A and B are shown apart, each in its own frame.
Chain A
Amino acid sequence: MKLYEYQAKELLVKNNISTPPGGVAESADQAAEIAATTGLPVAIKAQVHVGGRGKAGGIKIAKTEAEVKILAAQILAMKIKGLSVKKVLIEKALEIEKEYYLGIVVDRANRGNTLMFSTVGGVDIEEVARTRPDKIFKFEILNPKQIQNHNFQIPVGNREVHSQVSAIIEKLYDLYLKTDATLVEINPLVKTKDRQFIAADAKIIIDDSALFRHPDLALLAEAAEEDEIEAEAHRRRIAYVRLPGNIGIIGNGAGLVMTTMDEVKRAGGQPASFLDIGGGAKAELVKSCLEILTMDKNIKGIFFNVFGGITRCDEVAQGIIRATQDLNLKIPLVIRLTGTREEEGQKILAQTNLVTAATMQEGAEKIVEYISK
């Protein structure tokens, strides 16, 4: 679960890491009120889950109260990479002397946690990582004590900077473990002209699997949901991702569903969803999943691909039939059902006029053909 910048910063502040004075606004007037308390100039920052929002015009500096209102209204009316901006963060602009990068992340290849630091922080950090990897200091954390006792040497000569940054790393790591994060990032960590260290931007991703340990953080999830259909699917605990095409893809198992998307694309179609019914789905859940797909009016046809292991083909077939009856499903549906209780499943479908396919490839071709008619 990705947190918005303002949510991430609230967590930093709770852990005694400084952020610029400011607040969140949903309207131009609110923005002006916040700016009045922080003092001018202020930075106005769109709160959206996409990278490169600054380059897309989602961050502006306002020097007067009138500018705050105009720019906040502009940004609140924006769509950045397809996502509409609902909130802006208003913050006192910093007098920057230097920008650092600081991050702690789950390192898959090492099966551990890694601390990263760079003296060339800022918007181009990914470019730095690609072209000057030596500029990024990496430290594999084998034991929490290494961080707690400052047993790491960030490449900074100045002793004061070294000790201040090390102290922030210790607090950030504490927050990382405490919240079951998979990423905490401060970029840039700004050293101001009066030698304060302030987190000018922050990114936190919380491990979804660990949310049961953090009911307070779980509450933030709903606020972070962008798409209405995705939000509804997640309320029903269905693994669904909305995609821009017109063919609904549904099946059991993430790998199989992704491969089904690939096959539909190979056949010349455009997937409109990734929907995984999971293992052992019962008829009622199958129906509920199909209902999610009907909410997307761009969908002109559905390919349902199931290889039953724990999932029983007869249950899936029952669910499909219930959905077609109760939901008045009018768009073409191609079904490929194989595996556990395949015969029973096929028998149920044979009583209807639903279209079946013997293989994933055949199914992909059929659905593409149907919707192009």
Chain B
Amino acid sequence: MSILVNKNSKVIVQGITGREGSFHTEQMIEYGTKVVGGVTPGKGGQEHLGVKVFNNVAEAVKETKANASTIFVPARFCKAAIFEAIEAGIKTIVTITEGIPTQDMIAVCQKLKETGATMIGPNCPGITSVDEAKLGIMPGNIFKKGQIGLISRSGTLTYEVVAALTKAHLGQSTCIGIGGDPILGSTFTDLLPLFEADRETKVVIMIGEIGGSDEELAADYIATNMTKPVIAFISGRTAPRGKRMGHAGAIISGGTGTAESKIKALIQAKVPIAETTAEIPNLVVAKLALQK
């Protein structure tokens, strides 16, 4: 078991013939992901990396029965690409692209709400359901199959934590990088219920960062709805106010979005906070021991 994607997911890649699209599709296939086709307007009918390329998502879905898409389309065309996927009936969309205008994402989120489709991203590393499917750009060799679910706002920090878990012989079920933008297709609160319902997952790790109030909202959700233990790490404790730390979402403005506010809310929800990434495996071991 895993969440969102598994070995049976039929995946297409939008922007498959581009530089990033090509490189990562190859890695996804190598990982064992069932990539059934790709989309690049004007290149329909060609074959690329052993799969068929279509002019649009509707044609790709019709012929391949694809139910998931990974998007590498440049930012300025991304809104149209996401709409195309939703309208073609794709239910799970992973958008890797960075730098999509905020108003474009607001329109996308409204469309997702109307149709019930799920999107991870944008500006994210994607999803890996360990040993089943990898949609996105995470390095496949760091994972080990197991019982830990992970949701993170940061890409490289995900790798850092996954590698530390694997080294400590703590395997993962599904790892999701939700992205660093202010407007996201899926937030912690959207994904926690999926891990709660997943039989394989025993512990969930949440990697948050400064900016916004997603961690605080997740704390509320955890306190009232989660039976599985959640462990959290918050990055950016020492970042100054009013400065944007690379991620468009990582900015402390006014009195909101501080690390203190997030940590306080999570502690109130009885979520253990790792002081450093190196502490995370120990906290996981402690939680797993309690379940036995």
Contact = CB atoms under 8 A, between A and B. Distances in A.
Interface in B151-183: 152-157, 159-160, 163, 180, 182-183
Contacts of A279: 137, 155
Given A251-B156, A307-B160, A309-B139, A108 B240 contact: no
Contact of A106 (B106, B110, B137, B209): B106
B246 interface: yes
Interface in A228-279: 239, 241, 243, 251-259, 261-263, 265-266, 271, 274, 276, 279
Given A106-B182, A254-B154, A338 B210 contact: no
Interface size class of B (residues with CB under 8 A): 35 or more
Dominant secondary structure of chain B at its interface with chain A: loop
A109 B213 contact: yes
B75 interface: yes
Given A361-B276, A361-B278, A253 B157 contact: yes
Interface string B203-226: 000010110111001000000000
Interface in A323-369: 338-340, 359-361
Given A258-B210, A339-B139, A340-B139, A271 B238 contact: yes
B12 interface: no
A210 B102 contact: yes
A111 B213 CA distance: 12
Interface of B: 75-76, 99-106, 109-110, 125, 137-139, 142, 152-157, 159-160, 163, 180, 182-184, 207, 209-210, 212-214, 217, 235-240, 242-250, 254-255, 275-278
A207 B154 contact: no
A349 to B, nearest CB: 19
A359 to B, nearest CB: 7
A279 B237 CA distance: 23
Interface in A211-231: 212-213
Given A210-B103, A256-B156, 17 more contacts: A50-B242, A109-B213, A111-B183, A112-B110, A142-B110, A209-B75, A210-B101, A252-B156, A254-B245, A255-B155, A255-B209, A255-B235, A256-B154, A257-B246, A262-B238, A307-B156, A339-B139
17 contacts: A108-B212, A109-B212, A111-B106, A112-B110, A130-B255, A180-B101, A253-B154, A253-B246, A254-B245, A255-B154, A257-B246, A258-B210, A258-B235, A262-B237, A266-B275, A274-B243, A309-B139
Closest 10 CB pairs of A and B: A255-B154, A253-B156, A254-B246, A210-B101, A255-B157, A256-B156, A111-B109, A254-B247, A258-B236, A276-B246
**Which of A113, A259, A271, A310: most chain B CB closer than 10 A?**
A259
Nearest to B177: A255
Contacts of B109: 111-112
Nearest to A257: B246
A177 interface: yes
A274 B139 CA distance: 24
Contacts of A177: 103
Contacts of B276: 262-263, 266, 360-361
Given A209-B100, A252-B156, A253-B154, A262 B245 contact: no
Interface residues of A, number: 50
A239 B163 CA distance: 26
B4 to A, nearest CB: 19
B86 to A, nearest CB: 15
A97 interface: no
Given A208-B248, A255-B180, A255-B209, A274 B239 contact: yes
A255 B153 contact: yes
A309 B277 contact: no
Nearest to B76: A212
Contact of A338 (B138, B163, B207): B163
Dominant secondary structure of chain A at its interface with chain B: mixed
A265 B240 CA distance: 13
Contact of B235 (A130, A207, A262, A276): A262
B183 A106 contact: yes
A307 B243 CA distance: 24
Contacts of B110: 111-112, 142
B254 to A, nearest CB: 6
Given A210-B101, A253-B157, A359 B278 contact: yes
Nearest to B211: A108
A274 B235 CA distance: 13
Contacts of B278: 359-361
Nearest to A311: B156
Contacts of A308: 139
Given A106-B182, A112-B106, A271-B238, A209 B248 contact: yes
A223 B253 CA distance: 22
A217 B256 CA distance: 28
A182 interface: yes
A111 to B, nearest CB: 4
Nearest to A211: B101
Contacts of A209: 75, 99-102, 248
Contacts of A259: 154, 157, 160, 235-236, 277
Contacts of B76: 212-213
A126 interface: yes
Contacts of B243: 241, 274
B95 to A, nearest CB: 13
Given A259-B235, A274-B246, A360-B277, A309 B210 contact: no
B156 A182 contact: no
Contacts of A109: 212-214, 217
A106 B250 CA distance: 15
Contacts of B104: 210
